[in-house]
Structure 1
Amino acid sequence: MKNISGLMTTNVVSVQESDGVEEVGKKMLAAGHHSLPVVDGSSRVTGIITERDLIDAHRQVHLPTVISILDSVIPISGMHEYTEELRKVTAVDAQGLATKRHLQLARPEESVDAVADRMFEHHLHALPVVDADGKLLGMVSRSDILRGLLAQS
């Protein structure tokens, strides 16, 4: 198999942007997946939610380290992490919880090697596969890729 169209799972469990955080968690556990794509009313992928996102949504927010100089507060580090933690703990629905920045999507005609490289580079377990309009066609996981590679041997 040269592209991922033959490897991807087409019977995909996804969540709507308006689904509540608890509902998303229940769907993820029931499906047994590490991540679920978030879709809008037109089935376009708008984000992805991972197990880590759901766990982070229930953790305490850690304030960033700052220093105060001449009545100014200057963050030393961790401001991006703080913003992400705050976003997750205040999310009430899938749209608010989903990772949207640097969202990685695959196209069915992409090569197995290209998709595998991207997944490992970004430490991803699975990628949504979309058409030219961004509509969800399937998901491809590390297990799917491994199965395809072993079938070629």
Structure 2
Amino acid sequence: MRVSEVMSTDVLAAPADDSVREAVGRMLDEGTGSVVVEKDGNPAGILTKVDVMEAGHEYDRPLSEIPVYAAASRPLITVEPSATVRAAAARMFDYGIHHLPAADGLDLVGIVTATDLLEAQADLLAAAREADERRDEWAD
């Protein structure tokens, strides 16, 4: 199974000079847990709920005074949409992240989350069982 089959293509983005408060408002409006931060028109980082909490604690200022770029996780870790879901899961584990944007070159085309991977788990298990059955048939 490929990332393109499980990712969401609706990626929320915010300019680097927006405030964290503005970004959080958009995240709440859209019901999403992250926003990709764009600097000079290119994806440059990602702001997640955890980043918001860390920024509030670290800066000890209102969220309206913190630029989203200052609070965002950088550099932006991405995956190709043609990558396997297993490769995406490994990348997320290796970097300790739960939101992984999918990029085709510099073009952001989607985002895969830990929730997306959990939802795909049943399909992945079914595919694995099917592969095992085919292997057993070939062995006979």
Query: What TM-score do you get using the length of structure 2 for normalisation?
Result: 0.75
Residue 58 of structure 1 is matched in structure 2 by: 56
Residue 44 of structure 2 is matched in structure 1 by: 46
2:32 maps to amino acid:
H
The answer to whether the 8 A contact 1:19-1:93 is kept is yes
Task: Note the 1:3-152 alignment, pairs <5 A.
Answer: 3-42=2-41, 44-59=42-57, 85=58, 92-101=66-75, 103-132=76-105, 134-152=106-124
1:41 is displaced (CA, Å) by 4.8
Give aligned pairs, total.
123
Stretches of structure 1 lacking an aligned partner (at least 5 in a row): 60-84
Q: Percent identity?
A: 30
Post-superposition CA distance 1:80-104 (Å, at most 9, x none): xxxxx35x96973222221114x31
The SS at the match of 2:92 is helix
Query: What TM-score do you get using the length of structure 1 for normalisation?
Result: 0.69
Post-superposition CA distance 1:55-78 (Å, at most 9, x none): 22222xxxxxxxxxxxxxxxxxxx
Stretches of structure 2 lacking an aligned partner (at least 5 in a row): 127-140
User: How far apart in 2 are the matches of 1:142 and 1:28?
Assistant: 17
Post-superposition CA distance 1:98-149 (Å, at most 9, x none): 1114x311111111111101112222111011111x2211110112122223
Q: Which has the higher helix share?
A: 2
